[in-house]
Amino acid sequence: MVDLTPNRGMTPIVQTIAGWTKGLVFLFGIYIVLFGHITPGGGFAGGVILALTFVLMTLCCGKESALRKMPMHIAAELDSVGALMFLVIAWLGVWSILGGTFFTNYIAKWNRGLPYHILSSGTIPLCNIAIAVKVAVSLFLVFTLLVMTRVIHKPNE
């Protein structure tokens, strides 16, 4: 066997290819998030692609590799940060100078920007980023938890 680290993922061929591609997949996810208001995509699609990077690392190199990049407590905090970011963006609209209602697109009222440019459509890209962080970290958390859990019958417990 060439594999020097048993029970730590797949063969070195798969691990090397995954090491090359995981950065590209992450970059593609960021692109999908940032251009979500112009092209197909958005927070949900980009978020699940960002989570796919960690799923790839977990499947190919073992869960330690993914947990080294993003430990569990940081993931749990980022989950809350994504949700809070979305709420803060929404609450700023309640401020009467900006609009007066929840979820007002106050930046678009002030300056809509040029269509087909990345700096356009007000709060929508910011909301996209918040949703992407939330979805990506949630998916990573639940995937890692379910993969880590061993299903063993323990009748005496």
Partner 1 sequence: MHYALVLMLFMIGLYGVVVKRNLIKIIISLIIMETAVNVFIVMVGYRSGGMAPIMQQTMATETFIRNSVDPLPQALVLTAIVIGLGVTALTISIAMRLYERYGTYDVREIRRLRG
Partner 2 sequence: MLELTGVLLLFMVMAAIIAIETKDLLGAVISVTAVGFGSIIAFFYLRAPDVAIVPIVVEVVVLVILIRATLRAGLKTFIGNRPFFGYLVTVALLVVIFLAGIRVFGGLPAFGDPVVARIPDAPARAYIESGLEDTGATNVVTAVLLDYRAYDTLGEATVLFTSIVGAVAILRRKARKKPSDPEADEW
For residue 37 the two structure tokens come to: 């208001």
Element (H, E) at 12: helix 12-34
One symbol per residue from 12 to 51: x for binding partner 1 (CB under 8 A), - otherwise; what is it? Answer: ---------------------------xx-x-x---x---
Q: Contacting partner 2 (CB under 8 A), which of 66, 70, 127, 132?
A: 127
By CB under 8 A, residue 39 contacts partner 2? yes
- Tell me the C-alpha distance between 144 and 139, whole Å: 8
Please identify, among the stretches 2-10, 15-23, 102-110, the one whose residues bind partner 2 according to the rule CB under 8 A. 102-110
Q: Which amino acid is at 89?
A: I
One symbol per residue from 50 to 89: x for binding partner 2 (CB under 8 A), - otherwise; what is it? Answer: -xx--x---x------------xx-----x--xx--xx--
By CB under 8 A, residue 7 contacts partner 1? no
CB 111 within 8 A of CB 56: no
Q: What is the closest distance, in whole angstroms, from the C-beta atom of residue 14 to partner 1 in the complex?
A: 25
Which listed option, partner 1, partner 2, none, makes contact with residue 113 (CB within 5 to 8 Å by class)? partner 2
By CB under 8 A, residue 26 contacts partner 2? no
- Tell me the C-alpha distance between 129 and 36, whole Å: 9
**Closest Cα partner for 54 from 83, 15, 25, 17?**
25
Q: Contacting partner 2 (CB under 8 A), which of 15, 106, 122, 132?
A: 122
**Closest Cα partner for 44 from 121, 124, 120, 136?**
136
By CB under 8 A, residue 135 contacts partner 1? yes
C-alpha separations of 88 from 20, 30, 84, 100, 148 in Å = 37, 22, 6, 14, 34
Residues 48-67 that bind partner 1 (CB under 8 A): 48
